[in-house]
Chains A and B, each alone.
Chain A
Amino acid sequence: MKYMLLMQFSEKNVDFPAIFEWKPEEIQAHIRFMKETNTALAASGELVDAQGLAMPDTARIVRSHSGGAPVVTEGPFPESKEWVAGWWIVDCETEQRAIEIAAEVSAAPGPGGRPINMPIEVRQVMAAPPTEV
């Protein structure tokens, strides 16, 4: 079963500054953790995809507009305090295992080496229709 683990950054629920304001060794420890996590997930045969997204500063929100040109709003969006920072897609035996992986990445190190406890949303990726046996 495939699960998408969405790294849901939220300014409301965190008590630490943005990564750009961390100490150099804290940034490096965080990068290393992410790299090692992905290497381990690939080694266990569970990694399907892992991607980081550019910051919301460069985001656009597009809405079609009946009878006119689509409306494009450019970021940054000062009102939005939550954004998707990236995701993993993992292929694992049980939902329990997906939750376990989510818990691991949620504990990625932040300032002072403390876990950042970022919320990770675990969503099952929809599959093809079941075979009729």
Chain B
Amino acid sequence: MTTHEPADPADLADAVDDLLRTLAPQVVGVLTRRYGDFAAAEDAVQEAMLAAATQWPKEGLPDNPRGWLVQVANRRMTEQVRSEQARRRREELVAAREPGDRRSAPGADAVFEGTGEEGAQDDTLALLFLCCHPALSPASAIALTLRSVGGLTTGEIARAFLVPEATMGQRISRAKRGIKASGGTFRMPDAAEFPARLDAVLHVLYLIFNEGYASSTGAELRRVELSREAIRLTRAVHALLPDDAEVAGLLALMLLTEARGPARTGPDGEVVPLAEQDRARWDAAAIAEGVALITAALPRGPVGPYQVQAAIAAVHDEVPSADETDWPQILALYGVLARISDNPLITLNRAVATAMVDGPAAGLALLADPPPELAGHHRLFAVRAHLHELAGEREAAIADYRAAARRTASLPERHHLSLCAARLAESAS
């Protein structure tokens, strides 16, 4: 092992971490090809990464970091193989009895498309397709994606989701078994299944981002690391599929949303709504990148839900103050979104946009008969409260803010909704 002059140790550790996480899916890809066993390859790479994370910051980077990881993980694999030699020998015996054409057909674990080290980039994508297999539950796909493609350790993923490490370890093992049981293979989906499989991948990335942004559990509203990780992975997919408009749309949506992050919480961790955010604290570079991405993607088409949501986010992000928001354009975009997506929450956002264009009564009228999925949902009460407030219907607004506060499962949001009710109640007395 040769070394580069170690700079600041903390910088070096960060650099090692970044490098490891870029290399992780490539190394899993190489070993999965070589041995045809994704689950074992993934475990071996995880161990090699842990070894690298302790050695490299102290001893410096090897000349060929990827080769180093492949070699160490490969050694782990061979040890494993040796320990299962008897079983393997039986399998080989069976394989030898089979006609040649059957042996070259796709195996249960993997399809070997060429060998060697080429195709590292495609490996990352093939690995994503495998980890986001439609047979997996979202929670399993998220955990497996973060570990295999994102290169996070089981412990890091467990901490991000506030569950014990053993629980997360089991979730990952179960995900691997699920892929195996459903016949998932390490290869690119064919043209016929590609769109649906890509949708599944984008959905998992979207969920990881939302988990980081909205944080479904706990008191902290923003869990920055998961949203950054989702952006990093989506960026990688965009680099591999630059012509796909929905991939670009999702990346733009994440950037345009994350850009508001610093302004989204107050000093005590409470939610600050879009209209009241200090826009000077938004990340201008992220907004510029998001706007450029969505502007280039939209004309390419076909238009999908991520692009429309990104376009809406861009309309919000591009104006210096909430008063200047182009609500007619946002309303038109929600109309497009409602036609291509069946998410009931769109109804709520559309009602807000309608209220901003045609007045609060028009918005409230849209919510008079909400879809059954929204009945009793805290967001329905929160939006209605906001529209009642705009209409000057103070008592109705207070009642709905309190109803929303009683129903939300997010502590920062409960604080915010309680404060909205309290401020209105105070303004009366």
Q: Is the CB of A24 within 8 A of B269?
A: no
Interface residues of A in 22-78 (CB under 8 A from B): 22-24, 26-28, 31-32, 35, 50-52, 54-55, 57-58
Residue A19 interfacial (CB < 8 Å): yes
Q: Is the CB of B407 within 8 A of A57?
A: yes
Min C-beta distance of B172 to chain A, whole Å: 23
Given the known A-B contacts A32-B268, A52-B219, are A27 and B406 also in contact in the complex, defined by CB atoms under 8 Å?
no
Residue A21 interfacial (CB < 8 Å): yes
Chain B at the A interface: SS class? helix
Q: With the chains together, A51 CA to B415 CA distance in Å?
A: 15
Residue of A nearest to B408 (CB): A54
Min C-beta distance of B173 to chain A, whole Å: 25
Q: Is the CB of A58 within 8 A of B409?
A: yes
Residue B422 interfacial (CB < 8 Å): yes
B 385-429 to A, binary, CB cutoff 8 A, 1 in contact else 0: 000000000000000011001111101000100110111011000
Residues of A in contact, count (CB < 8 Å):
19
Min C-beta distance of A132 to chain B, whole Å: 26
Residue B270 interfacial (CB < 8 Å): yes
Which residues from B are CB-within-8-Å of A50?
A: 219
Chain A at the B interface: SS class? helix
Q: With the chains together, A92 CA to B422 CA distance in Å?
A: 37
Which residues from A are CB-within-8-Å of B218?
A: 51
Max chain A Cβ within 10 angstroms of own Cβ: one of B405, B408, B418, B425: B418
Q: With the chains together, A21 CA to B419 CA distance in Å?
A: 9
Residue of B nearest to A54 (CB): B409
Interface residues of B in 155-189 (CB under 8 A from A): none
Q: With the chains together, A69 CA to B373 CA distance in Å?
A: 24
Which residues from A are CB-within-8-Å of B415?
A: 27, 31
Residue of B nearest to A24 (CB): B422
Q: Is the CB of A20 within 8 A of B407?
A: no
Min C-beta distance of B287 to chain A, whole Å: 30
Which residues from B are CB-within-8-Å of A51?
A: 218
Q: Is the CB of A20 within 8 A of B422?
A: yes
Which residues from B are CB-within-8-Å of A21?
A: 402, 421-422, 425
Which residues from B are CB-within-8-Å of A22?
A: 418, 422
Q: Is the CB of A57 within 8 A of B426?
A: no
Q: Is the CB of A52 within 8 A of B411?
A: yes
Q: Is the CB of A23 within 8 A of B422?
A: yes
Interface residues of A in 58-105 (CB under 8 A from B): 58
Q: With the chains together, A58 CA to B377 CA distance in Å?
A: 10
Given the known A-B contacts A27-B415, A57-B407, are A20 and B268 also in contact in the complex, defined by CB atoms under 8 Å?
no
Q: Is the CB of B422 within 8 A of A55?
A: no
Which residues from B are CB-within-8-Å of A20?
A: 401-402, 405-406, 418, 421-422
Q: Is the CB of A55 within 8 A of B407?
A: yes
Q: With the chains together, A57 CA to B381 CA distance in Å?
A: 14
Min C-beta distance of A7 to chain B, whole Å: 13
Q: With the chains together, A35 CA to B268 CA distance in Å?
A: 8
Q: With the chains together, A31 CA to B415 CA distance in Å?
A: 8
Q: With the chains together, A27 CA to B402 CA distance in Å?
A: 13
Given the known A-B contacts A19-B418, A20-B422, A22-B422, are A28 and B406 also in contact in the complex, defined by CB atoms under 8 Å?
no
Cβ contact of B268, chosen from A23, A28, A55, cutoff 8 A: A28
Residue of A nearest to B266 (CB): A28
Which residues from B are CB-within-8-Å of A55?
A: 405-407
Q: With the chains together, A24 CA to B268 CA distance in Å?
A: 13
Q: With the chains together, A27 CA to B266 CA distance in Å?
A: 14
B 126-161 to A, binary, CB cutoff 8 A, 1 in contact else 0: 000000000000000000000000000000000000
Q: With the chains together, A112 CA to B27 CA distance in Å?
A: 61
Given the known A-B contacts A55-B407, A57-B406, are A23 and B426 also in contact in the complex, defined by CB atoms under 8 Å?
yes
Q: With the chains together, A32 CA to B408 CA distance in Å?
A: 20
Q: With the chains together, A31 CA to B423 CA distance in Å?
A: 16
Q: With the chains together, A28 CA to B422 CA distance in Å?
A: 11
Q: Is the CB of A24 within 8 A of B419?
A: yes
Which residues from B are CB-within-8-Å of A26?
A: 422
Q: With the chains together, A20 CA to B408 CA distance in Å?
A: 13
Residue of A nearest to B412 (CB): A31
Q: Is the CB of A28 within 8 A of B409?
A: no
Which residues from B are CB-within-8-Å of A58?
A: 406-407, 409
Q: Is the CB of B268 within 8 A of A31?
A: yes
Which residues from A are CB-within-8-Å of B426?
A: 23-24
Which residues from B are CB-within-8-Å of A23?
A: 422, 426
CB-CB nearest 9 A-B residue pairs: A24-B422, A20-B402, A54-B409, A55-B406, A57-B406, A31-B268, A24-B423, A20-B418, A52-B411
- Can you list 20 A-B contacts with CB-CB less than 8 angstroms, sorted by A residue number? A20-B401, A20-B402, A20-B405, A20-B406, A20-B422, A22-B422, A23-B422, A24-B423, A27-B418, A27-B419, A27-B422, A28-B268, A31-B268, A51-B218, A54-B407, A55-B405, A55-B406, A55-B407, A57-B406, A58-B407
Which residues of B does A touch, CB under 8 Å?
A: 218-219, 268-270, 401-402, 405-409, 411, 415, 418-419, 421-423, 425-426
